[in-house]
């Protein structure tokens, strides 16, 4: 008999694990599987972390984080995202993903329903299932835009929240202000909370970012330092929302986290003083990959933001078959099933450098031109 809790049945990180294994097996892998930006943490941020250590700023901070950092985040949310927000309504967490679990623990009871758009960032449904909530999936195929009538139709008297992620992982879809206003109006009508994960807000091309929290007060806005500041390993994120909810999360933080890393928080404060300008560089990579994929015959939906493109595998290959074919050519992709209940797609990440993207495009052209596997050949 196993000692492991049944809760773990909801997690299957096998596809990510396999991508990492392939990376180590291949002599010179072309890695489009990673969900991290190519930049390194900036020198001034590293220096601020080192200074914090040297100046013994290494004890617990308040459970909700350093006041200066919360104040800087609140200012940013007011100035850039048009939220109504004070430092007290912000809480610092050790990464957005841990923050999501805290939000769920604070708000969801077993049997509560939560609406998640498919494809999704895997923790949205799986953490909710783990704590006994019921996940209602709404497919966003084929455009990766949420279908508003489907949202309405899926609401019951147990529905508590809708999770939104724009720009989106894994599709790169960006939801327009119009769409977000409609979602806000549905949420208001049914008294639902909205969780808005905006971690890719600065990776956006040709369309503007809109924060649903600016028009709908029952929004929990989540963000973090991992992507914009290339600080994935520092583990620093934040949550802003209605005071009652932030207070409940802070209560949990006291028992679950004690405090986020003081060193990361001091580094984060320095990070916010010099915002990196990534849009031009990432737009170049985005435009290159989109153009090349279209030339190979791929139909691109989404891909207005983040650094991901989610494409359908050619020849009706399954996502795993396509990822396997790709790895035969040294190219590492994550099969779409890691992000979706719909099969047949793969995620390409252009977080990586231009040279890798150029190699990836050459490999993809060869893989795409391969004949279909025997099981899909029409023998008539
Ligand atoms: N949210 C989304 C949509 C992501 O894609 C990721 C990472 O890939 C995260 C959150 C992770 O954020 P953090 O590093 O702050 O936990």
In this predicted model, what pLDDT tens digit does every residue of 19-34 receive, in sequence order?
Answer: 777 777 888 899 999 8
Size of the chain, expressed as the number of residues it contains: 380
* CA-wise closest residue to 305 among 212, 157, 188, 172: 172
Could you tell me where the DSSP H helices lie in the chain? 14-25, 43-54, 67-81, 96-107, 123-130, 148-154, 177-189, 243-256, 262-273, 279-295, 319-328, 354-369
DSSP 109: P
Assess whether pLDDT exceeds 50 at residue 185: yes
Does ligand 1 come within 6 angstroms of the Cβ of 95? yes
- The 3-state DSSP class for residue 55 equals coil
Rounded to the nearest whole angstrom, what is the distance from the C-alpha of residue 146 to the centroid of ligand 1?
20
Probe target for ligand 1 pocket from 97, 117, 203, 232, with the most ligand atoms within 8 Å of CB = 97
Q: Which atom of ligand 1 is nearest to the CA of 121?
A: 3
DSSP conformational letter for 236: -
Give 296 Cα–ligand 1 centroid separation in angstroms. 30
> Mind giving me the DSSP string for 322-340?
HHHHHHHTTEE-EEGGGT-
pLDDT tens per residue across span 93-113: 999 999 999 999 999 999 999
Give residues with Cβ within 8 angstroms of 119, minimum separation 6: 140, 144, 168, 170, 171, 310, 336, 339, 340, 342, 345
The percent of the chain in helix, strand and coil, each rounded to the nearest 5, is 45, 15, 40
> Would you say the CB of residue 94 lies under 6 angstroms from ligand 1?
no
Beta bridge partners of 348: 309
The reported pLDDT for the residue numbered 380 is 42
CB 106 within 8 A of CB 245: yes
The mean pLDDT value of the chain amounts to 94
Average pLDDT for residues 248-257, to the nearest whole number?
A: 97
Q: For 324-345, what is the mean pLDDT?
A: 92
309 close to 293: Cβ distance less than 8 angstroms = yes
Q: Is 260 in the pocket of ligand 1 (CB under 6 A)?
A: no
Closest CA to 287 of 268, 270, 304, 301: 304
CA of 124 to the centre of ligand 1 (A): 10
User: In angstroms, how far is CA 29 from the centroid of its own chain?
Assistant: 24
Closest CA to 156 of 133, 140, 126, 179: 133
Pocket test for ligand 1, best of 41, 104, 224 (most atoms within 8 A of CB): 224
pLDDT digits (tens, 9 = 90+) for 288-334: 999 999 999 999 999 999 999 999 999 889 999 999 999 999 999 99
**Mean predicted confidence (pLDDT) in 61-84:** 98
Residue in 99, 165, 169, 340 to alter for ligand 1 test, most ligand atoms within 8 A of Cβ: 169
Ligand 1 atom nearest to 232, measured from its CA? 14
As beta bridge partners, residue 220 has 195
Q: Give yes or no for residue 232 CB within 6 A of ligand 1.
A: yes
CB distance 169 to ligand 1 below 6 Å? yes
Question: If you measure from the C-alpha of residue 369 to the centroid of ligand 1, how many angstroms do you get, rounded to a whole number?
Answer: 34
Distance CA 123, CA 129 (A): 10
Q: Is the pLDDT of residue 379 over 70?
A: no
Query: Crossing angle for the helix pair 262-273 and 67-81, nearest 10 degrees?
Result: 40
């Amino acid at each position: 008999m196993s000692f492991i809790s049944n809760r773990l049945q909801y997690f299957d990180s096998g596809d990510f694990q396999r991508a990492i294994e392939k990376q180590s097996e291949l002599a010179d892998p072309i890695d489009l599987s990673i969900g991290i930006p190519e930049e390194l943490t900036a020198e001034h941020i590293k220096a601020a972390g080192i200074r914090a250590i040297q100046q013994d700023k290494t004890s617990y901070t308040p459970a909700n984080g350093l006041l200066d950092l919360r104040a800087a985040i609140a200012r940013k949310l007011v100035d850039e995202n048009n939220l109504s927000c004070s430092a007290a309504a912000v809480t610092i967490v050790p990464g957005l993903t841990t923050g999501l679990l805290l939000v769920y623990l604070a708000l969801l009871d077993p049997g509560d329903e939560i609406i998640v758009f498919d494809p999704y960032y895997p923790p949205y449904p799986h953490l909710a299932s783990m704590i006994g909530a019921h996940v209602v999936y709404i497919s966003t195929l084929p455009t990766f835009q949420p279908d508003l009538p489907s949202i309405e139709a899926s609401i019951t008297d147990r529905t508590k929240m809708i999770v939104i992620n724009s720009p989106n992982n894994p599709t790169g879809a960006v939801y327009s202000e119009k769409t977000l206003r409609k979602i806000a109006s549905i949420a208001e009508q049914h008294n639902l909370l909205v969780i808005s994960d905006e971690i890719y807000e600065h990776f956006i091309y040709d369309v503007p970012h809109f924060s649903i929290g600016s028009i709908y007060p029952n929004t929990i806005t989540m963000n973090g330092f991992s992507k914009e500041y290339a600080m994935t390993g520092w583990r620093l994120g934040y949550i802003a929302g209605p005071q009652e909810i932030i207070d409940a999360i802070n209560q949990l933080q006291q028992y679950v986290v004690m405090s986020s890393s003081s060193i990361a928080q001091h580094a984060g404060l320095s990070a916010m003083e010099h915002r990196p300008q990534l849009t031009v560089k990432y737009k170049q990579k985005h435009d290159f990959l989109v153009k090349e994929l279209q030339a190979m015959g791929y139909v691109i939906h989404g891909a207005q933001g983040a650094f991901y493109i989610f494409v359908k595998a050619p020849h009706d290959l399954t996502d795993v078959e396509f990822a396997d074919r790709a790895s035969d050519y040294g190219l590492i992709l994550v099969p779409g099933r890691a992000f979706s209940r719909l099969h047949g797609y793969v995620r390409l990440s252009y977080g990586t450098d231009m040279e890798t993207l150029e190699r990836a495009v050459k490999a993809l052209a060869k893989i795409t031109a391969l004949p279909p596997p025997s099981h899909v050949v029409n023998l008539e």
